[in-house]
Structure formats: structure tokens, C-alpha cells
Amino acid sequence: MNALSADEMERFQKLSNNYQPEVQGPLVSIKQSSHSIALDYSNADPTLATKTNALSITHPECRIMKGDGNCGWRAVAFGYFETLFTLRDTLRIETEIQRMKALTSLLERVGLSDSIYEIFVDATEDVLNRTHAAIQNGARDESFLVEAFNEGYCSDAIITHFRILTSAWMKLNPSRYQAFLPMSLNQYCSSRIDPVKTEIDEVGLQALIDGVIEGSGFGVEILYLDRSEGDVVTPHQLSSHNPSGATIRLLYRPGHYDILYPVETLNMAPIVNLQYGMTSDYSSWDQAALGFDVNPSLMAIPNLMQDASFGMGGPMSPMPSVSPTPASPFRMSPQQDMYQSPMPTHAPIPSVPVSPAPHMAPPSSAPPPMTSLPSRTSDGPQIRLNPLVMKPNLSRSLPVTPPFKNSPYNQAHFQNSDFEPIHWEPHERR
Amino acid sequence: MGSELTELTESPPEGIRVELADESNVYEWKVIMEGPEGSPYQNGKFLVKLSLPTEYPFKPPTVSFATRIYHPNVTNDEKGSMCLGMLRADEWKPSSKIAAVLQFARQLLSEPMPDDAVEGRIAEQYKNDRSRYEEIAREWTRKHAC
């Protein structure tokens, strides 16, 4: 093994020092289906497979960041601009331009001269102006931002701007961060924050959010994909702000950050019948009990149930006008959140015969909001709800498509026994 | 970049003088560096070339000694390149000033970093036979830099 001469060893050392693995792909990708992430893990640890599958339903779209060491910084920066664009509020952008200018005082206070930082601040301002113009010109989508972030100079300059702001913020607020650092804060900033292409760690990310993002009023949520217990990725709020406002969502996989888009922010125009998770093939279970007169594949037609009176004569159809407590095909079993267990004993309520039997159910068992799965009793419901969609904590992400909106099982429907009208909130964009 | 050059030419750091190698090219700088006092390079005037990559400031400038120098951190060839510490691509900070780069390079003449050497044998000598190292470095300085 000692065959190499010192010169050769040095040469190899130098090559190795300068080696940079080739990373493929654009700096910031276009929005794409999160299903690709699930596919990546389909053969991996079952925990990861389960979590990524659930993720692709709650967060159907994602944006992949190039893994060049800047991904976390780039994801936050891109998310910041994109959120501003999505809000389409030019006044807010003007406020942000002023705020970014004001933040340069942090840089002054740690001794950076304007000749050093101005090109970085200019880049951020430039893209803020471009965002402003895009809104005014009625740009349809954020492709101008994707382009800007794929320009090497622009992307690097904005990231550097956010890095030096974070570093300055930390130096001016040492007591908030020092306890979490394995070294002195100055050393940390100069080795982990300031150098190009150093990956962001948790302390750095927190400081970036505290120092740079928080002032915008945007929340930042990180969804951790790891092998910890549970069926869904672990969400973590990194901002102290009211999380109901605009939120930048990041997916963290050890060593890498991407951006995620939850169901809420999707354009609802194309009807995606997610909440039924219907399939035309029920033969794998309960075939014998298939009590529908309705052709199962007809049930997959989204608007078929739009008319609440449809199929009222059918054996399974609830008759809300007759009874406020219909024996529901959606009978809930809140404790049972996965459909893997077909045992009727798991259902809290005894199985109900397939018939319009309004009196079988106690009044309290009126259809609650759709937050959980129906039990699979032997003669139970014939609509198979996708268990991942129906996780209780995901109920907020359910898209409201016309059939569900018009169903008495929608809590917002006047015939629902737990009727509660939808309150319009100014920050919500549906 | 222009403002940095102005600043450097108007009030240069100690022992350093800066000009453009070619007035039409702001990416190539010519630096005259005086050997620091107390070092074997004292009284020497070293021509140092500083070039800024097109990706500057997101990639570090490259610093090389056009004047031959006997030093553990400078390649002992006609390139005379120096690449360590803040000059390494993965340690480079875009917010670094060029003045700081030059001061770093000059500081290295006073205090070589043998553990981060490009010339292993000179580093060995620096660590184990300091007087011999100083003798050769002084001799090279007389021969090439005066």
C-alpha cells in the first residue's frame, strides 16, 4: 500500500480536496408530484414507505432542491419569494423591500461594509421587484421565480444575503443560540453559516427564520421524514407566528431539504375525488356483502352524489330528511384509524344491517364530520375510504369537492346534525 | 469589485501594494508583497498574482506567487500556488474582502501552517529543523525576491 510516492500522495490529496461530486438537476425544480418521493422509498424501510405514501396525499406536490449544500438555504429563500407571489399583494412586497433594506443595519452592526454586502442585498431586492412586477402584470404562475433561482449568480447572491443576515443576527443575539452550539458562536458563524455551500443545520435554520423570515409574518413548518414511530412525517413549527397565516413548508430528509405543498394550496378546479379514495374494484373485501344496487364504477363519478336525493330509495342511502340520524354508511370508528383490521369487534358500534334503519343508531351517532374511517363491518359500507386521507389529523387537508360539499355528511351542510357553517377567513384562499 | 480595488490601491494594508495586471481586465490583479519583518522572507518583494474567477464572489480568488518562494504552503514550482484556509473553495465566504485575503497570505509568510502544507518536505523541515528551513528560505529570498 505504500507504493505511492509522497509526491503522488500529495497529488491525490489535492485531487481529493478539490473533488466535488457532480450533482444533477436544476437548482430549483418545477412543482412536481410528491408521488416521486414515495416511489423513491417504496423499497426502503416500511416506516419511510408508509410516511412518504401518506405525504404524497397530504402534500401532493413538491419542489426539489439541488443537493449542493445550499438546499436548505435555497428552499427557505425560494419559499419566501414564492409565498409573497402567491399572496399577490403588491403592498406587502413593498413592505418587504423596505424591511430588507432596514435589515442591512444588522450587517453594519457586525462590521460589514456596504461595498461588501450591497451586491447581495441588490439581488434580493431585484427579485422582490420582479415579483412585484409579475403580480402587476398578472403572471399566471411562479415560473419567473424558478428561472431567477436557476440563474447561478442570482441564486448564489440571495443565498449569500440570507447567510450574512443570519450570521449577523446570531452575533447580535448570542444568548439565544450559544447554548445549542458545540463551539463559540463566532466560530460557528464563520465555519457553518458564512462559507459557501455549507449545509444549514437546525440551529442555523432557526436563526435564519428568526432573523430573516419571521419579520415577514410567514410561518415555517418542517416535516421530518425519518424512521421514528408513526405513519406520517413529523411536522415541526419553527416560527412563533400564528401558523394559520401563509406558511413555507419544507420536507427534511437527513441532509436535504425540499419544498412541499399541502392540499389546501392546490387549485381546486379539477375535481380530485380524494376524500372518497374510490376504487371500482371492491372484490378484495366484502364482496358478498356488496349491497349496492349501484354499479361501483358509477360511484367513482365525482358528481354522481351531488344531488343529495340521489339513490334515496337505495338500501344504503341515508335519508336525512326522514331521520336526522341516518344509519350511515360512514359510521365512524374513531379508534380505528387504519382499515387493516377487518375484525368487526374493533368497531365501537355493532354492525348494522344493510337497510335504512334510522333507529338502530342512537342519536349521538349521527354522522360526525369526516375525520375518521368507517368501520368495516361484515355488511358495512361499500365505499372504501382511503385510510391515509382519513387520518384524523389530516381532516383539515381534505379538499372540498362538489360531491362532498353537497353531502349531508359534510359538517357544513345544513342537514348535518352537527351543522356548523363555514366561516370565511380573510387569510384563507380557496 | 471596482470599489474594493479603489480601496486597496488608496489605502493598502501594510506591506502590500495592488494594481491591475492589465488595466482592461479587472479579474487579474498584481500584488507586490513585502516579506514580513522577522520572517526569513524579510526584505524580499514578492510578486503575487491574484485572479478572480468569473463566479467571484461565490468562488474564492486564486493566489499564486510569481516570485519563487521556499514555503511549506506554496507549491515549489513555477505556479507557486497557495490554496488553504479561507482560500479553499469549501471555506470561502463571499463576504470576505480581498484585503483580508492578501493579509491572510502575508500572515502565512510569518507563520506557515505545516499541517496544511502542499510541500510536505518543507513542512517536515519547518517542524524538525527550523534553522535549516530559515536558512534556505532566506537564501531563496535573496536569490529571487531582492
Length of chain A: 430
Local confidence band at B21 (pLDDT 50, 70, 90 cut-offs): confident
On chain B, the residues whose CB falls within 8 A of the CB of A188 are: none
**A10 → chain B, closest CA residue:** B118
Sign of CA dihedral A107, A109, A110, A111: positive
Whether A24 and chain B come into contact, CB under 8 Å, resolves to: no
Q: Residue B116: helix, strand or coil by DSSP? A: helix
CB contact under 8 A, B57 and A119: yes
The pLDDT, as a whole number, for residue A72 is 96
B83 is catalytic: yes
Query: For residues A113 and B95, is the Cβ–Cβ distance under 8 A?
Result: no
pTM of the model: 0.67
**B95 → chain A, closest CA residue:** A116
Q: Residue B78: helix, strand or coil by DSSP? A: coil
On chain A, the residues whose CB falls within 8 A of the CB of B90 are: 195-198
CB contact under 8 A, A196 and B95: no
pLDDT digits (tens, 9 = 90+) for A292-322: 444 555 555 555 444 444 444 444 444 444 4
Give me the percent of chain A exceeding a pLDDT of 70: 62
**B85 → chain A, closest CA residue:** A191
The amino acid that residue B66 corresponds to is A
CB contact under 8 A, B94 and A14: no
Lowest mean pLDDT among A97-101, A162-166, A413-417, B78-82: A413-417
Q: How far is CA A12 from the centre of its chain?
A: 44
Closest partner CB to B97 (pick from A116, A164, A190)? A116
The pLDDT, as a whole number, for residue A384 is 63
CB contact under 8 A, B90 and A10: no
Interface test with A, best of B86, B93, B101 (most A CBs within 10 A): B93
Cell matching residue B102: 492578501
**The three-state (H, E, C) secondary structure of chain A, written as one string:** CCCCCHHHHHHHHHHHHHCCCCCCCCCECCCEECHHHHHHCCCCCHHHHHHHHHHHHHCCEEECECCCCCHHHHHHHHHHHHHHHHHCCHHHHHHHHHHHHHHHHHHHHCCCCHHHHHHHHHHHHHHHHHHHHHHHCCCCCCHHHHHHHHCHHHHHHHHHHHHHHHHHHHHHCHHHHHHHCCCCHHHHHHHHHCCCCCCCCHHHHHHHHHHHHHHHCCEEEEEECCCCCCCCCEEEECCCCCCCCCEEEEEEECCEEEEEECHHHCCCCCCCCCCCCCCCCCCCCCCCCCCCCCCHHHHCCHHHHCCCCCCCCCCCCCCCCCCCCCCCCCCECCCCCCCCCCCHHHCCCCCCCCCCCCCCCCHHHCCCCCCCCECCCCCCCCCCCCCCCCCHHHHHHCCCCHHHHCCCCCCCCCCCCCCCCCCCCCCCCC
On chain B, the residues whose CB falls within 8 A of the CB of A163 are: 94
Over residues A128-147, mean pLDDT: 96
User: In this model, does residue B10 exceed pLDDT 80?
Assistant: yes
Whether B30 and chain A come into contact, CB under 8 Å, resolves to: no
Between A345 and A261, the more confident residue is: A261
pLDDT digits (tens, 9 = 90+) for A335-381: 444 444 444 444 444 444 444 444 444 444 445 555 445 454 455 45
The interface residues of chain A toward chain B in range 168-197, judged by CB-CB distance below 8 A, are: 190-191, 194-197
CB contact under 8 A, B95 and A18: no
Q: Enumerate the β-bridge partners of residue A250.
A: A222, A259
User: In this model, does residue A285 exceed pLDDT 90?
Assistant: no
Strand-pair category, A234-237 with A219-224: antiparallel
**B57 → chain A, closest CA residue:** A157
For the domain made up of B1-144, give the CATH fold.
Answer: Ubiquitin Conjugating Enzyme (3.10.110)
Local confidence band at A401 (pLDDT 50, 70, 90 cut-offs): low
Alpha carbons A306 and A347: distance in angstroms, whole number: 29
Over residues B58-77, mean pLDDT: 94
Between A209 and A241, the more confident residue is: A209
Local confidence band at A61 (pLDDT 50, 70, 90 cut-offs): very high
Over residues A219-244, mean pLDDT: 84
Residue whose cell numbers read 495592488: B18
Contacts across the A-B interface (CB distance below 8 Å):
50
What are phi and psi for residue A114, nearest 5 degrees?
A: -65, -25
Query: For residues B133 and B121, is the Cβ–Cβ distance under 8 A?
Result: no
For chain B, which residues make up each domain, given as ranges?
1-144
User: Which of A312-316, A328-332, B64-68 is most confident?
Assistant: B64-68
CB contact under 8 A, A196 and B4: no
Query: For residues A376 and A348, is the Cβ–Cβ distance under 8 A?
Result: no
Whether B124 and chain A come into contact, CB under 8 Å, resolves to: no
CB contact under 8 A, A197 and B90: yes
The pLDDT, as a whole number, for residue A239 is 78
Closest partner CB to B58 (pick from A20, A156, A198)? A156
User: In this model, does residue A16 exceed pLDDT 50?
Assistant: yes
User: In this model, does residue A210 exceed pLDDT 90?
Assistant: yes
User: In this model, does residue A197 exceed pLDDT 70?
Assistant: yes
The pLDDT, as a whole number, for residue A318 is 45
The interface residues of chain A toward chain B in range 195-234, judged by CB-CB distance below 8 A, are: 195-198
The pLDDT, as a whole number, for residue A96 is 96
Q: Residue B83: helix, strand or coil by DSSP? A: coil
pLDDT digits (tens, 9 = 90+) for A71-119: 999 999 999 999 999 999 999 999 999 999 999 999 999 999 988 999 9
User: Which of A1-5, A125-129, B21-25 is most confident?
Assistant: A125-129
Over residues A385-404, mean pLDDT: 52
**B119 → chain A, closest CA residue:** A10
Closest partner CB to A10 (pick from B3, B95, B118)? B118
**A156 → chain B, closest CA residue:** B58
Alpha carbons A28 and A32: distance in angstroms, whole number: 11
The pLDDT, as a whole number, for residue A404 is 62
The pLDDT, as a whole number, for residue B74 is 95
CB within 8 Å of A395: residues ≥ 6 apart: A369, A370, A371
CB contact under 8 A, B89 and A120: no
Q: Kindly list the structural domains of chain A, giving each domain's residue range(s) and its CATH number in brackets, ordered by start.
A: 25-261 (1.20.1300.20)
Distances (CA, A) of A373 to A86, A162, A387, A416: 34, 45, 7, 18
Average pLDDT of the residues of chain A: 76
Q: Residue B6: helix, strand or coil by DSSP? A: helix
What are phi and psi for residue A251, nearest 5 degrees?
A: -100, 125
The amino acid that residue B105 corresponds to is A
CB contact under 8 A, B95 and A190: no
- Please give the torsion angle defined by the CA atoms of residues A329, A334, A337 and A339, in that order, rounded to the nearest 10 degrees: -30
Whether A120 and chain B come into contact, CB under 8 Å, resolves to: yes
pLDDT digits (tens, 9 = 90+) for B99-132: 999 999 999 999 999 999 999 999 999 999 999 9
What angle, rounded to 10 degrees, do the helices at A6-18 and B120-128 form? 110
Alpha carbons A304 and A310: distance in angstroms, whole number: 8
| Catalytic position from the list B83, B99, B113, B118 | B83
Over residues A383-400, mean pLDDT: 52
